[in-house]
Amino acid sequence: MKFPWFKRIGIFFIPASVAGWIILLSGIVFAVYSFLDIDGRSHSVSDTLMNFVFMLLIIGAVYSLIAYMTSRVWKK
| Residue 20 backbone zone (phi > 0: left; psi -120 to 50: alpha; other: beta) | alpha
29-48 per-position pLDDT tens digit: 999 999 999 999 989 999 99
Task: Provide the whole-model pTM.
Answer: 0.85
With DSSP H G I counted as helix, E B as strand and the rest as coil, what are the percentages for the chain, rounded to 5?
65, 10, 25
Report how far residue 17's alpha carbon sits from residue 46's, in angstroms, rounded to the nearest whole number.
Answer: 38
- b/e sequence 11-44, b meaning 16+ C-beta within 10 Å: eebebbeeebeebbeebeeebeebbeebeeeeee
- Tell me what pLDDT residue 71 has: 87
